[in-house]
Amino acid sequence: MSTSLLYHTWGIRGYTYIHTRYERGKTIFRIEQDAATLRSSCCGSEKIIKRGVIKRTFKATPVGNRTVLIEVLVQRVQCSECASIRQVDIPFASPGHSYTKRALPGKAYFGAISR
């Protein structure tokens, strides 16, 4: 699979596709951010030091009647300019949410597609 599906279906760009798993009726895509796009989430600086990764899972809009999850390996970085250590920003998801921006929570999604 190419990253084209990630972009055209869920608006995810700047990430590399790693693999797909199928578990209990769910399709799970694993992706990681391209190293060239890593920036400090505090000040936006490119001068960073990698400090590990954290796996986060986001619910995306379904494909057919299968639930889709996006597993992201989120890089933790230390900024050389402001000295903060944080996770990089995830542009396709709002801070504090466990679903992508294109995935409308709850019944709103099904109401939108039935019109």
Q: What is the pLDDT of residues 82-111, one digit of tens each?
A: 888 877 777 777 666 666 666 655 545 444
Residue 3 domain-assigned (yes or no):
no
Q: Nearest to residue 20, comparing CAs of 29, 11, 12?
A: 29
Please, what's the b/e burial string for 94-115 (b: 16 or more CB within 10 A of its CB; e: otherwise)? eeeeebbbebeeeeeeeeeeee
> Residue 77: its pLDDT value, please?
84
Residue 30 domain-assigned (yes or no):
yes
Q: For residue 83, what are the domain limits?
A: 25-91
Residue 69 domain-assigned (yes or no):
yes
Residue 70 domain-assigned (yes or no):
yes
Residue 20 domain-assigned (yes or no):
no
Q: How many domains does the chain have?
A: 1
> Residue 104: its pLDDT value, please?
55
> Residue 92: its pLDDT value, please?
73
Residue 111 domain-assigned (yes or no):
no
Residues of the chain with pLDDT under 50: 107, 109-115
Residue 101 domain-assigned (yes or no):
no
